[in-house]
Amino acid sequence: MTGRATIVDVGDPLADQTGARAWLDRVGEDELANGLAVINRALHAFRVVTADPYMHEIARDQALVARVGYGAGDEVADGLWSDARELSVAPGRRRRSVILQPQARLAAALNGRQRVLACEELTLRARTDIDHERDREAALQLLVALDAALAELPLDPHAASLAGRLTELRGRREAVAAAAQTALSGPLDDASRQVVADTLGRVEAALRARAVISA
């Protein structure tokens, strides 16, 4: 399934054609990222208000075509442009899933030779929340993901190779629990956000190490 979305920035109108062309020459991925952030906030809100668990955010690499451009009010309201240019993904930009070459592991998971851990899915959910600045949800989700990792990874056949990482994760559990408790009553402070972000990165690193060892 594919869809199309147009984000119109009306906060700082372009004065004339000369200024518009100059703007178009200098814009790029930063402006596109801002547009994607708007789309993803809308998708998240739609998922919540419609109680649709299958609605999800989109990533830059999922865009079949991405353009930036300018136009008059009537044009952009209909998804049209006076002028636009297409943005291509830079050759050096590759998704994490591509870098890890998951084909062999996918086959092992599908035929039952390798178990997919609950903490892997939970960690992905925490990553989605933190990437979209849902700090409270990220803290709560991370606590569950961390507990699942601490329960599941020691049972892995390669657990001995992960011993140092598991020790580190156990040492972070109390701080993550405190951040999650704070999240129950309100926004996180900067220190709690940093704890969540850093610990999520360490859980992800442990899971990547497991994937490499298991390959």
143-155 pLDDT per residue, tens: 999 999 999 999 9
The more confident residue out of 122 and 80 is 122
Cα angle, residue 97 at apex, residues 60 and 208 outer, rounded to 5°? 130
25-75 pLDDT per residue, tens: 898 899 898 899 899 889 888 878 888 888 888 888 888 889 898 888 788
CA separation, residue 77 to residues 5, 29, 73, 156, 181 (Å):
11, 22, 6, 54, 44
Give dist(CA 29, CA 67) in Å, integer.
10
Residue 42 near residue 14 (C-beta atoms within 8 A): no
Integer distance in angstroms from the first to the last C-alpha of the chain? 32
